[in-house]
Amino acid sequence: MKIYKTVEVPAKAATTQQLNKRVCDLCGFSAKGEDWGAGFYEVNETEVRVEVRHKEGSSYPEGGDGTEYDIDICPSCFVNKLVPWVEEEGDTEIERKDWDW
């Protein structure tokens, strides 16, 4: 879940929503902004390379509306909850790769 705060935009005499922190939808772990807690030399991130989303509604040339789902998951829940669940439900083993640079 993304928590937003309202900030003033003086040049436009308006307000806008700015991401304040991100909360894992599974465990409630709270990260400030978009960072899940990695340091400068430490990697602790969840990256989605293939976008998986569900979107439903109506779309016409003059406009449309509907519902879209967006899930936030911390690195710990990704490795310790999502991967085992996918392996169990899909009766498969997720490929694990070592990396370096």
Residue 45 covered by a domain: no
Q: What is the pTM of this model?
A: 0.58
Torsion angle, alpha carbons of 96, 84, 86, 76, to 10? -80
Residue 89 covered by a domain: yes
What residue numbers bound the domain in which 90 lies? 1-34+66-94
Query: pLDDT grade, residue 80 (50/70/90)?
Result: very high
Residue 59 covered by a domain: no
Residue 54 covered by a domain: no
Is 100 in contact with 43 (CB distance < 8 Å)?
A: no
Residue 46 covered by a domain: no
Does the pLDDT at position 75 exceed 70?
yes
Residue 41 covered by a domain: no
pLDDT tens string 20-45 = 788 888 898 887 655 655 555 556 66
Query: pLDDT grade, residue 50 (50/70/90)?
Result: very low
Structural domain total, the chain: 1
**Can you read off the two tokens belonging to residue 65?**
């509306």
Stretch (H or E) spanning 10: none
Give the mean model confidence (pLDDT) for residues 81-98: 91
pLDDT of residue 10: 76
Residue 47 covered by a domain: no
Residue 42 covered by a domain: no
